[in-house]
Amino acid sequence: MSLPSVSLDVSGERFQVVYHIRGNEKEALARAGAVCLEQTVEIPDDLVPEGDIRSQIVGRIESFDQVENDRFETVISYAVELSGFELTQLLNVVEGNSSMLPFVRVERLDLSTSLRAHFKGPRFGRAGLRERLGVARRPLLCTALKPVGYGPSELGELAYRFALGGIDMIKDDHGIADQPFAPFRERVKCCAGAVERANRQTGYKCIYVPNVTAPFDRLADQARFAREAGAGGLLFSPGLAGLDAMRCLADDDRLSLPILSHPALQGSFVLSPDFGISHFALHGQITRLAGADAVIYPNWGGRFGYSREDCQQIAAGCETPMGGIKAIFPVPAGGMSLERVPEMAKTYGTQVVFLIGGGLHKHGPDLVENCRYFRELAEQMEPGDGGER
């Protein structure tokens, strides 16, 4: 028995998702078939209406290949219309219910041309961010205002010294939100003012990047306030407040500010090789699609569980061709130090943002000098340094 069939007006255009599926060949193939139903019609195969729903709406296995013992790669295609041409529902088709399957992992997205055309992606991308910061070739430099608990004046003073030392982007620590120690508006005014003051002295184009991650009903106001107060970019944690909220910030012509994406609450997606989403797809492709110009993630060898290969995959996802969607900067971070810059440079090349937070305080007693040293390290890199990926 199946449900009644209907005729559908679909274009026939499909987008593809590459999944890795664990199991022996028979299990994995059955699981791939289950994904085709799970991500679309959500009914057992024997209930699927014949005709257009079976032939167009149900996911279609385009290929199925063994990649290693008990692991298969399958490409499943979906009608572009299923996405509703919106990010929330696109994510749902890619990995909504599959996120609850312990043996299916999203490896890569291959969006079709017409689907990509519905997404503007990053407003600035690498070239636009370089232009805004006046940095043609070397890696960009970023640091974080911390710790949470400091008031606007302490944070402003730190921002001033970082900017004086030649840092390009000074972001709030992502845990600095709208707490009573440093209320959002007061803090943003103070830090933006401090950076502007330093820029007048140095002639640099350093930007202050406040954290605007906020409750749903306050986000637009906070972002607008930040812009008016002189922020040069926005820090946003899509894991906390939604990938599509970030897309809205990126698409807003009245804001028109570069966006740094922070990975808070996103780690569970990537930590298992068996389920979730790959580093490449989540921190690279999906973050780009959601409008970030640069994506922060924990570098290998720091405090977190990402390997060097994971990080290289993120960097690759930041620049893999995606039609009109601009390439963005990888921002390896999380316990980085000045000592590790040469090693990071070797891996990432010059198309990278180095983010050093606490480590900048540790090099020597003078914070401004430490920043200058950081900048010198970056300036020594050859423009042709392409990194290893």
Burial bucket for residue 10 (CB in 10 Å: 0-12, 13-18, 19+): middle
CB neighbourhood size of 100 (10 A): 10
Closer to a second copy by Cβ: residue 184 or 204? 184
> What's the min distance (Å) between Cβ of 253 and a second copy?
13
Is the dihedral angle over the CA atoms 191, 192, 198, 202 positive or is it negative? positive
Closer to a second copy by Cβ: residue 245 or 381? 245
> What's the min distance (Å) between Cβ of 101 and a second copy?
6
Closer to a second copy by Cβ: residue 54 or 372? 54
Closer to a second copy by Cβ: residue 237 or 350? 237
| 311: helix, strand or coil | helix
> What's the min distance (Å) between Cβ of 85 and a second copy?
9
> What's the min distance (Å) between Cβ of 321 and a second copy?
25
The answer to whether 75 and 87 are in contact (CB under 8 A) is: no
- CA nearest neighbour of 65 among 41, 95, 32, 42: 32
Amino acid at 358: G
> What's the min distance (Å) between Cβ of 291 and a second copy?
11
> What's the min distance (Å) between Cβ of 92 and a second copy?
5
Closer to a second copy by Cβ: residue 103 or 348? 103
Rounded to an integer, what distance in angstroms lies between the CA atom of residue 177 and that of residue 183?
Answer: 8
Residue from 146, 171, 279, 326 carrying the catalytic annotation: 146
**Angle in degrees, 0-180, between the axes of helices 367-379 and 341-348, rounded to the nearest 10:** 30
> What's the min distance (Å) between Cβ of 162 and a second copy?
13
Residue from 171, 262, 279, 283 carrying the catalytic annotation: 262
Among this protein's residues, is 262 annotated catalytic? yes
Residue 93 tokens, joined = 């088709």
CB neighbourhood size of 46 (10 A): 7
Closer to a second copy by Cβ: residue 124 or 297? 297
Q: What are phi and psi of 211, to 5 degrees?
A: -75, 115
Angle at 286 between CA 280 and CA 290, to 5 degrees: 150
| 313: helix, strand or coil | helix
**Angle in degrees, 0-180, between the axes of helices 152-164 and 367-379, rounded to the nearest 10:** 40
Closer to a second copy by Cβ: residue 199 or 264? 264
Cα 67 to Cα 23, 58, 64, 107, distances in angstroms: 11, 25, 10, 12
Q: What residues are annotated to the active site?
A: 146, 262
